[in-house]
Structure 1
C-alpha cells in the first residue's frame, strides 16, 4: 500500500528522505510513502528538495509563501507531514508564540487536514512549543487537530535515543483519522544506557567512514589566526567561557553567556543540537581540529547521507541542515506509523502527554 504524501514547510527534505526510505512488509503487502506535493518559501530549500526527493517532478514542489498557496488545488493525499515554522516557539529568542509572525502558520496544516482528510499526519516543532503562551498555544493546536477529526499522540522525542548522533529534542504530533480506529504508540528508544545499542557519537558520525575530500558541501571554514588560537585553548566539550582560556584571548561579553558559543564537540557522545542560524561562535566546532565544522559534517550529525546534495550559498546550506528533521529519525517514526496502519506490533512507551485529559481540562476551563 502506497500512501500519497503532501508536505508543507518541506525544508531541504529531511522528513521526505526518511519517508522515501521507510518500508514495512506485512500482510503480504509493502507499506510505503510516495511524494505527491510540497511547499516551502525558501528557493534554496526547494532546489535541494527537488534534487534529492523528486527530480522527475519539479512542478510538484510549490515555491512561495504558504499564505498565498491555493491549498485546495494541490491534489489528493493519504498522508500529510508538516514541520511548521518554529521561530516563535523556540526556547532561544523572544518566544512570541501565537503573537509572532510564524506562530499562526500551523493553521495552514489544519486547513489541509480538514480539506483532504488524509489517513494520518505528522506535525513537528521544537520542544519550546509546550510552554509557548503559557502552554495555551500547544493546547490550542492539539484542540484544532482533534476537531479536524484525528486521534492524536504527541510526544517529546530526543532523536539521540533512536540512533541519531545528536541530542535533538523535538515535539512530534502523530494523528490517525478517527474513523480508522487506530492509535499510534511511541516507539521505544533503542539507543543509550541499558538499551539495545549505545548512543551514536559525534566521532561515529563524522569519522566512520571518513568524509571524502571531494564530498558535496564540504568546504573547509577559514578562520582568522586569533580565532584559531582561541579554539586551541578550549578543550573538547568546553565553550568560550572555559576558565583556562588566556586573558588576552577571552571574549569581552557582558550579560547572558550562551553555552553553545565556540563550544567544541565531545567525540565520544552525541553532539549538541545542530542549529540553522546564528552569528560568530555558533557554527559548531571540531573536538580536535581548531575549526568550525563543515556543512557536510553537520549534515552527517543530522544523518543525511553524503550523496544528499544541498543547493545554495554556504550560509543557506547551513540554514537548511540545521532546520531539517534528521532523516534517520524521520524514517523510524514513519515506519512506526506504517506498522500501526498495518497492525504490526512493536515495542513502545507511554507518550509524554495524555491528549484526552488535556482536552478535557480545556473544556472544563471554559466553564470556570
Structure 2
C-alpha cells in the first residue's frame, strides 16, 4: 500500500524524511506499506533545494514548488498531482512563545488556511499537521479552537496531542503539537488513530546532547560542519560558564558580563548540559542564541545542531550558515516524525502498537461551546 503525499511549508524536509523512512512489510500479507512524495511547496528557495536534494534526489526537482503558497495552484491536479495523504507544518512564527505571539492576527498565523484548502479539494485519507506548543495559548486559546474546528468541518476526525520529543528518543527538549486527522468515512469504518506511546519515559534514559554529538563522532568531511568564529572576549566569557549555565552565571568576571537591561533570556550563551537532552534548537536570534558546546568555548556547528534534530550526517543543507541554521531550527525532528507516520500506517494496516490516550482536554468536543474564559484554561492544560 503506497500513500501519495502532498506537503505545504515543506522546510528542509524534517516531516518528509520521517515519512520517507516510515514503512514496513505487513507481517501477514507481505505487502509493503510506505509513503511516497508527490509534491510540496515552500517560499524559501534554500529550504526547497535542501528538500529536493535529500527527499527527491535533485535539488531542482520540479515537484518541489518554490514560491508563496498563495501562488500554488492547489486543486489543479494536472499541475500538482493527486494525493492520498497530506502533511503541513504551518508557519509557527506567530504562535511561538518567543516573539510577539500575534496568533491569527499576525502575518503567518492565517497561513494554516491553505492546508484547509488542500484538505477540502483533495480529501486525502489522512493528514498530519504540526506546530509549536504556543499554538495552544495564541489569541487566548481561540486560535487553536478555530483551527481544530475548521479541520473537523472539512471532514476529519482529529487526534491532537502535545508530543514531548525527548520521550521519543530525540536528544532535545522539543515540545510540539501534532494533529493527526483521519477522513470521517474511514474513521466510521474503524480506522482509529492512537497516539504512539513514548519510547522512553524515565528522564535518566533520555538521549543526551553528548550522545547525539559524539556517538559516533561527526566525520571531519561531513557537510555543514564549519566551525564558528568568535571574538576573544566571547571565548573568554564562555570559559567561565559551566555546562548547563548561561550568560547570567554569577562566576563570570564583571568586565566580561553582558550589559543588558530588562529581560534576560535564559538561552543567551547557554551551554548544553552533556548529561541531558539539549534545550530547543531554534532557527533565529542574534548574538548569544546559537547554542553552545558544553566544554569547548564556541557555538555549535550546523551539523551538530542537525544531529540534535536527528538529521543524518549525509543530509545536506543548502544556503548560507544563517540560512541553514534557520532551516534546522524550524524543522520537525525526522525521527520523531517517523514514529507518528509509522503509527498512522499501522492504523490503516490494522497492526497493533503501543499507544497512550491523547490529552483529553485537547479533544475538540471538550473545547466546543466553552466560554472564552475557560477556553484558555482548557488549551493551556497541555
User: What TM-score range do you get, normalising by the shorter chain?
Assistant: over 0.9
Q: Which residue of 2 aligns with 1:165?
A: 171
The CA deviation at 1:38 is 0.1
Corresponding residue number in structure 2 for 1:335 = 342
**2: distance between equivalents of 1:117 and 1:203?**
44
Alpha-carbon distance in 2 for matches of 1:7, 1:19: 11
What corresponds to 2:367 in structure 1?
358
Residue 277 of structure 2: aligned partner: 270
Aligned to 1:72: 75
Describe the shift of the 1:333–1:362 C-alpha distance in structure 2 as closer, same or farther (beyond 3 A): farther
After TM superposition, the score normalised by the length of structure 1 is 0.96
Classify the secondary structure of the residue corresponding to 2:35.
Answer: strand
1:298 and 2:301 are equivalent in the alignment: no
1:42 positional shift:
0.3
Q: Deviations over 1:70-90 (max 9, x none)?
A: 111221100000000000001
Superimposed CA distance per residue, residues 25-70 of structure 1 (whole angstroms, 9 cap, x where no aligned partner)? 3241221100000000000000000000012581100000001111
SS in 2 for 1:184: coil
| 1:325 aligned onto 2:327 | no
Distance 2:85 2:172 in 1: 27
Q: How far apart, in 1, do the equivalents of 2:298 and 2:199 lie? A: 32
Q: Which residue of 2 aligns with 1:143?
A: 149
- Please give the residue correspondences for 1:16-31 in structure 2 after superposition, counting only pairs within 5 Å: 16-26=16-26, 27-28=28-29, 29-31=31-33
* 49-58 vs 307-316, greater mean Cα deviation: 49-58
Worse-superposed segment, 247-256 or 51-60: 51-60
| 1:83 alignment counterpart | 89
**Given the alignment of the two structures, is residue 241 of structure 1 paired with residue 248 of structure 2, yes or no?**
yes
Q: Does 1:198 align with 2:205?
A: yes
SS at match of 2:62: helix
Q: What is the match of residue 185 of structure 1?
A: 194
Instruction: State the alpha-carbon separation in 2 of the partners of residues 245 and 362 from structure 1.
Output: 49
Aligned equivalents of 2:312, 2:368: Cα separation in 1: 40
- Alpha-carbon distance between aligned partners in 1 of 2:254 and 2:368, rounded to the nearest angstrom: 55
- Offset at residue 362 of structure 1 (A): 7.7
Q: Deviations over 1:85-143 (max 9, x none)?
A: 00000111100011000000000000000000000000000000000000000000000
String of CA shifts for 1:156-197, please: whole Å, max 9, x gaps: 111100000000000000000010022211111111318xx9
| CA deviation profile, 1:281-327 (whole Å, cap 9, x unmatched) | 00000001000000000000000000000000000000000000000
Aligned length: 362
Once the two structures are overlaid, the 10-residue window that deviates more, 139-148 or 182-191, is 182-191
Task: Find the partner of 1:60 among 63, 67, 73.
Answer: 63
Q: Distance in 2 between matches of 1:156 and 1:256?
A: 28
List gaps (5 residues or longer) in structure 2: 375-382
Task: Report the RMSD for the aligned CA atoms in angstroms.
Answer: 1.5
Quote the offset at 1:334 in angstroms.
Answer: 0.3
Matched, 1:33 2:35: yes
- Tell me the TM-score normalised to structure 2 length: 0.93
Other structure's SS at 2:352 match: coil
CA distance in 2, matches of 1:178, 1:31: 22
* Cα separation, 1, equivalents of 2:368 and 2:123: 21
Q: CA deviation at 1:360?
A: 4.9
